[in-house]
Amino acid sequence: MANAEPTIGMQQEATAEPTRKGSRRIAVLLGVAALAYVLDLVSKIWVVTSLEGHDPIDVFGQYLRLEAIRNAGAAFGFGQGMTIVFTIIATSVIFVIARIARKLYSVPWAIALGLLLGGAFGNLTDRVFRAPGFLEGHVVDFIAPAHFAVFNLADSAIVCGGILIVLLSFKGLDPDGTVHKD
C-alpha cells in the first residue's frame, strides 16, 4: 500500500507536466500576439492623431520616412478594392493559428505564430473599424523606406513571423516540439 501512493502521485505529476508545458507555449503565443497588436495599435493611433495631414518626418534623410497613408489593398498597393478578401484571409489565419495552438509545445513556433496572430489582428482591426466602413476599412501604413512599399508594425510582425516559420521548417522543428529530418 505504501508503494501505491507514491506511484499515483508520480502519475499525476507526469500527466500534469505536459499540460503545464502546453499552457506555457500558449501563454507565449498570446503574449507575443498581444505585444505585437498593442504596439501596432498604439503606433497607428499616434500616426492618425499626429502625422496624418502633416508633412512626412525624415528619420534617416530620404532613406526612411514616417508618412501616413491609408491602404485599401495589400503590400505594394496590390488588390485595391479587395478589402473584403483581405479581411477573410486575416480571419482565416486567426482560425488556423487557433487550431495549431491546441498542439503547440514549441517556444519558437509560439513566437512565430504570436507574431502572425498579432499582425493579423492589427490589420484586421483597421479593415473592420476604419473608414470608409465596416469590413472595408483602409489600413494605416506609415513606415516608408525609399524605393519600397509603405508598411506598418502589423505588417512587420507578419513578415517576421513568416520568416521564422520558414526557418523553423527548414530546421525540421514542428509546432508540437518534435524534430524531423526529412
- Give a yes or no: residue 105 inside a domain: yes
Q: 42-70, pLDDT tens digit by residue?
A: 999 999 999 999 999 999 988 999 999 99
Given a cut of 70, whether residue 9 has pLDDT beyond it is: no
Annotated active-site residue in 58, 141, 174, 176: 141
CA proximity to 144, closest of 71, 85, 58: 58
Asked whether residue 19 carries a pLDDT value surpassing 80, the answer given is no
Confirm whether 141 is a catalytic residue.
Answer: yes
Provide the pLDDT for residue 76.
Answer: 58
More confident residue, 62 or 162: 162
| Residue 112 within a domain | yes
Residue 153 in contact with residue 36, Cβ under 8 Å?
A: yes
pLDDT in tens, 69-79: 998 877 656 66
- Can you tell me the distance from the alpha carbon of 74 to that of 68, in angstroms, rounded to the nearest whole number? 15
What is the rounded average pLDDT of the residues 104-114? 96
Asked if the model's pLDDT at residue 3 lies above 60, the reply is: no
In the annotation, is 55 catalytic?
no
Assigned domain for 19 exists:
no
- Establish if 142 belongs to a structural domain: yes
Q: Residue 12 falls within a domain, yes or no?
A: no
Residue that has been written with the C-alpha cell 483581405 in this structure: 86
Residue 100 lies in a domain: yes
Residue 162 belongs to what domain range? 24-171
- Exposed/middle/buried for 142, CB within 10 Å: 0-12, 13-18, 19+? buried
List 58, 155, 174, 176, catalytic entry: 155
Output the CA torsion 11→176→115→130 (10° steps). -90
As a whole number, mean pLDDT of residues 95-118 equals 95
Is residue 155 domain-resident?
Answer: yes
Percent of the residues in the chain that have a pLDDT greater than 90, as a whole number: 65
Q: Check: CB of residue 180 under 8 Å from CB of residue 172.
A: yes
pLDDT value of position 182: 67
Asked whether residue 29 is assigned to any structural domain, the reply reads yes
Q: How many domains does the chain have?
A: 1
What pLDDT does residue 23 have?
55
Tell the burial category of 160 from Cβ atoms under 10 Å away from its Cβ (0-12, 13-18, 19+). Answer: middle
**Average pLDDT value over all residues in the chain:** 85
Residue 24 predicted with pLDDT over 80: no
